[in-house]
Structure 1
Amino acid sequence: MKSLSVDQLLEELRRRRWTLYFFGDPKAPHLIAAMFQWEVCADVLILRGEEDATAYRVPTFREDDDVFLPGIVSWQYHSDPEWTLRAVLTIGVPGQADAPFALLRPDSLSKIPIELRRPVTIRPAGLVQRPTL
């Protein structure tokens, strides 16, 4: 069985309609994040570099919950981008038996400080068109 590349896993995020966030210069961002909003929680992916990525699920019960600065998480994972993408794309759907439901203190890697979030370019990935050849 052929292993999926990071590019193919990122394409899967787009296919599933995750929203992309480019922090810093859009042509050379210092951080890239992706978020998928469920009814009561959000799945978040943070790509810091070629060898550094974090993913987590954060409850979003209140409108003012900050998905990039969570107080609690129900799941978190830190590794290289390939394994982190694989992990976040395979966690259970909220409410299903295989979904994480613990309440955990988020690791410092599961946060993006406010001072790193400007400027930001937001792209609803489901609306991004594939380039035509």
Structure 2
Amino acid sequence: MIVAMDSNLLDEWLEELRRRRWTHHYFPDRRAPKVHASLFTWRGGIVDVIAIFDAGTALAYRAPLPQGGDPFDPIRVTWAFAGEPIWAIRGVLALPEPGGHGEPVFVQTPPPLCAGLAELAGQNRVIRPPTS
């Protein structure tokens, strides 16, 4: 179960993700989430993901996503961060757009927390981007 996060600063950063039209998911469900994951899909099959497990543990990464790939179970990542939720959000939002100067391009194995996220996310879900 996610520890209650009533930090005004974290709420502000989550609101910033909503403003930027990130898609939010709650695993296993919204009523009793064990993880709050946020997803942004770029053109060209690149995804940015933030997963908040509790008040002190979050995972953020950028991954190339093959056609039909699972954004919550990446095969490879080009950037990853694990730490406090606010720093995970700030880190991923500071990344250059894919194709931009300074974009992370070194492909690496996903960190171990990705396996935990994939297990909690499961296979039976539909990802719908925010409506305009």
What TM-score, normalized by structure 2, do the two folds share?
A: 0.82
- Any gaps of 5 or more consecutive residues in structure 1? 129-133
Residue 105 of structure 2: which of 83, 101, 104 is its match?
A: 101
For 2:105 and 2:67, the matched residues in 1 are separated by: 20
Tell me how far 1:100 sits from its aligned partner: 0.8
Offset, 1:10: 0.6
Displacement of 1:127 in angstroms is: 4.1
SS at match of 2:59: strand
Distance apart, 1:19 and its partner CA: 0.5
Corresponding residue number in structure 1 for 2:23: 19
| Residues 21 and 123 in structure 1, CA contact (< 8 A), matched pair in contact too | no
| Aligned partner of 1:55 among 47, 53, 60 | 60
RMSD between superposed Cα atoms in Å: 2.1
* Aligned ranges 1:9-88 → 2 under 5 Å: 9-40=13-44, 41-60=46-65, 62-88=66-92
Deviation sequence 1:84-108 (CA, Å, 0-9, x none): 1110111111001121111011111
By relative contact order (CA 8 Å, sep 6+), the higher-ranking structure is 1
Aligned residues: 122
Check conservation: 2:60, 2:82, Cα contact below 8 A: yes
Bigger CA radius of gyration: 1
The SS at the match of 1:5 is: helix
Question: Deviation above 2 Å: which 4+ runs of structure 1?
Answer: 117-124
Q: Deviations over 1:27-62 (max 9, x none)?
A: 2211110100001200000010000000000102x3
Gapped runs of 5+ residues in structure 2? 1-7
